[in-house]
Structure formats: C-alpha cells, structure tokens
Structure 1
Amino acid sequence: MFKSSMTRANALLLALVLALGFSGGAMAQEVPQLGTDFDENQLSLFVEVQSDIQEIRVEYSERLATIEDPEQATVLQEEAGQLMVDAVEDKGLEVETYNMIAFALQNDPELLERVQTMMN
C-alpha cells in the first residue's frame, strides 16, 4: 500500500514536472536549489527517455482533448503519469533523479545547454 501511494505521488510529481517542461517560471522559484552535479550516464538516460515521454504526452493530450467528464480526465491524467514513471524507470533512471534534472535545467543554463546538445 505504501509503495502504491509513493508510486502515485511520484507519477503526479513527474506529470507536474513534465507539464512545466524546461521552463517552470514561478514554480522554479519555489523549488529549493538542487545540485547540478549529474553524471554523464544520468543525463544520457534523461535524454533517452524524452522521446518516450513526448509520445505519452502527445497521445494523452489528444485523448484528454476529447474528454468532457472531469473524473474521466483525472483517470487519464493519472494513467499518463504512471506511464511516464514507468518509462523513466524502464530506462534505469530513478524518478527523483529525473525530477531533479528537470528542475535543475530551469536554473542552470550550462546544464540546459549540455542536455540540449545531447538531444541533438
């Protein structure tokens, strides 16, 4: 039961991070400064999972656009969040590390440039 709650919390946090993208605006100011000392493997895994995350985001955005029932929309959002968590974990990256990298990208232009270079 505890693991299920943690997975759901991780899924919701990941969905929030992904919804913010690389530009969190005001949200970034509320997040404590995180270390940006990520190794090459962590950044590589972060970059690798982006295509999977984008596919999930596109698919579920399209599906959500057709939903009028708020409860059904919530179920779809939770499903998308869990799929994103699974995608991150399947690449061998912890969700917390993924989130730390995503938040760090908002505050560290050098890290952002490094990740963008790796994505190209």
Structure 2
Amino acid sequence: MKKPVLSLSALFLALGLSGNALAQPSQGQQTTPGQAPAAETPRPAQPALGESSDISDDEVARFADAQQRVEEIKGAYRVKVQENTEQPQQAMEVQREAQQKMVQAVKDSGLEVRKYNQIAQLAQYDADLRERIEKRR
C-alpha cells in the first residue's frame, strides 16, 4: 500500500497556518440577507506557489526523505495522543512534541519547512511532481 504523498497538517500547524486562513473571505465583502454577493475576482485553480519545474531533483529527493520521516513520527505519536484524550493538556503537549520532531525531520533532510510545504502544496495540483516524488520512495 502506498503512503499518502502529502502530510502537511502537522507542519502547517507548526507554522501557525491552517486551511481556514487560506479560505477566509476578503475584508469588506459582506452581504445582507436577500442581497446578491459582490462579484469576486476569479481565483486561480492553483495557488501562486511557483512551478513544479522549479523544484530540483535534489529537492524532490529531500522532500521524499523528509515526508517518510514525518509519516513515521506521525504514526508514533498518533497512539500517544490517543492515549491522552482524557487529559487534553497532556495531549496538546504530546502534539507539540510531535510537531517539533516533524519540523526537525524536515530540516534534517536539508529542506526548510517553507520549501517542504511549498513542494507538498504543488504536489496537490501537479501530477508530474507527485510522480517524481513517488519515484524517490
């Protein structure tokens, strides 16, 4: 069975990012009941993250290595978090520890967390990049 190509949530959380932050409506775009919403500017299908062709083979290899380590850490800590569901403070501490280890695993692979997240996001939209990552596993 193949492992998922993307494992972002923990790293996004470690950086203080979330999907909600990306999906927030623009300020000042309010409507009243019965009023049609103002026309929005078209959004690109892919966030402005650069091109996957800008990702070197070395970065792809580092990403694949980091992703494997992140998945291992997530697996190891998932049980620890579940064991502490009755103690929310302890569970949060375990999650923080896991996030720190995942960030360190990315850095140990030779990538910055920002670059890791960029590659992971691009891979969501780019089948060729996903294939390049899979070949490195």
**TM-score, with structure 1 as normaliser:** 0.72
In 1, Cα distance between equivalents of 2:13 and 2:125:
17
Which residue matches 2:120?
A: 102
Which residue matches 1:88?
A: 106
Following superposition, the deviation at residue 13 of structure 1 comes to 6.0
Number of equivalenced pairs:
99
The equivalent position to 2:47 in structure 1, one of 16, 28, 32, is: 32
In 2, Cα distance between equivalents of 1:52 and 1:94:
15
Asked if the contact 1:15/1:81 (under 8 Å) is kept, the reply is: no
Which residue matches 1:65?
A: 82
Following superposition, the deviation at residue 16 of structure 1 comes to 4.3
* Structure 2 residue 134 is matched with structure 1 residue 116: yes
Following superposition, the deviation at residue 92 of structure 1 comes to 1.2
* Structure 2 residue 58 is matched with structure 1 residue 41: yes
In 1, Cα distance between equivalents of 2:12 and 2:78:
12
Q: 5+ unaligned residues in a row in structure 1: which ranges?
A: 1-11, 18-25
Structure 1 segments, 4+ long, off by >3 Å, are: none
**TM-score, with structure 2 as normaliser:** 0.64
CA RMSD of aligned residues (A): 2.4
Inter-CA distance 69–59: structure 2 relative to 1 (3 Å threshold): same
- CA offsets per residue over residues 23-62 of structure 1, 9 Å max, x none? xxx87x8572311220111111011122221221111001
Which of structures 1 and 2 has the larger relative contact order (alpha carbons within 8 angstroms, sep 6+)?
1
Stretch deviating more after TM superposition (85-94 or 45-54): 45-54
Q: 5+ unaligned residues in a row in structure 2: which ranges?
A: 1-8, 24-45
Determine what percentage of the aligned residue pairs are the same residue.
37
- CA offsets per residue over residues 42-88 of structure 1, 9 Å max, x none? 11101112222122111100111111211111111111111001111
In 1, Cα distance between equivalents of 2:133 and 2:13:
20
The equivalent position to 1:14 in structure 2, one of 11, 14, 18, is: 11
By percentage of residues, which structure has more helix?
A: 1
Q: Which has the larger radius of gyration?
A: 2
